[in-house]
Structure 1
Amino acid sequence: MNRSNRIYIAGHRGMVGSAILRKLQSEGFDNLMFKTSAELDLRDYNAVASFFEAERPEYVFLAAAKVGGIIANDTYRADFLYQNLMIQNHIIHQSYLNGVKKLMFLGSSCIYPKLAPQPLKEEYLMTGELEPTNEPYAIAKIAGVKLCDAYRDQYGCNFISVMPTNLYGSNDNYDLKNSHVLPAMLRKFIVAKRNAEESVTIWGTGKPKREFMHSDDLADACVYLMEKYNESGLVNIGVGEDISILDLAQLVKKIIGFEGEILRDLSKPDGTPRKLMDVSKLNNLGWKARITLEDGIRKVYNEIKDITWKTNEAK
């Protein structure tokens, strides 16, 4: 990509899209285009077609999606499947019709089978059943990967797919009803410290392990792969290391300076024992994560420590 290329970032207000936007701006790219959902409804075929015909982007980062936590995914199953299919189908098809030089489709680690071996290798895709609660979202993302490969095979489009691990960073979601484990944990410990509470409770035993990557690292990897990678299939993006939920809670406690104790609610489920990405393909392409988990959490804490949340919402 040249600094003057027309680059469209779909989903620029989300955690991933905004990180890619910041990365490109910091690198001197000055012909960036983006629209809010109010300005451009990506579920509307005609609206997306008009946008592509008028703006003629040369490169596309497809980071737009309908997202949510476990409860939202399981409750609004039709919405998650239909809306994500429409968003990605319209952008990928219009990218083909309007001669986009290269498109990157961003998926999710939930596309891998629930019981896939650890760490998760790219070739494990579609080798087993998915986690039932987020199956509609995962199926949509799998369809996006296959659609990119199909346009590559039939039309010669340079469309690539990447699968990020669990992310955290700027513009994350801290709503305890549908946020992911790390932002929810940050909010709980921040509120508990403010209120001088005696304890913070985490779900389950704390034994399951999860991998966490700062969104700025993801953005760096995405821009790198957009410039270097031109093959079918997918590339995992992660740090290649994981941490138990209990150890994560202890790390967050230390960073925030909470002096109470950590309790475990054993009536709550643990979830999948482990979800670690195999990032050997990414590393062999010449890219490795740079932001440590502790440094990344400190960075996020400094960004959100003064946010005001209602106490009763954090319990």
Structure 2
Amino acid sequence: MALGYLFGGGVGSEPRGVEMHRAYTGVQNLYRQVAEWTGLTVGQILEDDLPEAPEVRQSVGTIRESVHAIAVHDVLAEQGLRPSVLGGLSLGGMSAACLAGAVGRRALFEMLAHARDTPDQPAGTPEQGIALAFEPIGDDTGRYRGVDMPGVYTAGQFGPTADGETRILMLSGERAALDELGERLPEGTVVQLPGRSMAIHSPLRGHFRTFMAPYIDAMPFADPVATLISCLDRKILMTAADVRDSFQRNPTDPINLVYIYEAMKDEGVRLGLIMGGSIPDGVLRFPFPVVHVDRPEHIGQALTTVFELGIDVSAPRVAR
């Protein structure tokens, strides 16, 4: 039975990883290193208010989320845990690729820092947003996905909720179109997320993809040394070219958590450890037990569950 590590995506506005940073010297060293690579202070990465400018805010937020997830991985590694399979959503997929040896840590964080120089969209561009849609299982009409509404895109699929009655989708697009979709459907089935002004994982992020493309083309990638699952396709990323392609496509292509956990199950994963706090605890259904590891008190729970289930942690060590 194999151990899988799953990394969530998304960028929150709250401090992340403060407790882990306080508790572990190795985590403190990691944050200092990332600060040197990105030109930020440890405080800016860890807990300061995020900048107001949208692209700068997004850049710093991605650094915050990624370093916290990697810090959790490192603390578990010090306790002897080695995942056989890794996968992540969006930013989490990039963190997973890093830990699978496909891209170096410095290269990853310098790339996330470079993104803050993305030009703003032209004046007059319609306001953008993100929403969650709660689609009843069995309703395949597409109406919750806004399939017939210009300006709305299905940006992500997270699979069934824990009770098995609803599937959760992420929608991106023009804010007015998302508002109109919400008005068409039963109250509470389309909920716009506050403070989100980028239509991520949709064609509306094409200018960001274009800006980042030359930088990603020049980055050094390697073949993963651990099994690395894609969130963009039903596939395992086997080569450096596969990983580079996933980095290039990530801004505009939809993500799918189901691709990851179904592939993990096929690879023999019988316990998943969810790195960091970007996938809510207890909301989604997984095909194997999961433990969320976000704070120091979760480390012992993860270790206990691994050994109680007899999970194999003898896989080759992933990149540090």
Q: Same fold (TM over 0.5)?
A: no
Of the two structures, which has the highest relative contact order with CA contacts closer than 8 Å and spacing of 6 or more? 2
TM-score (norm 1): 0.28
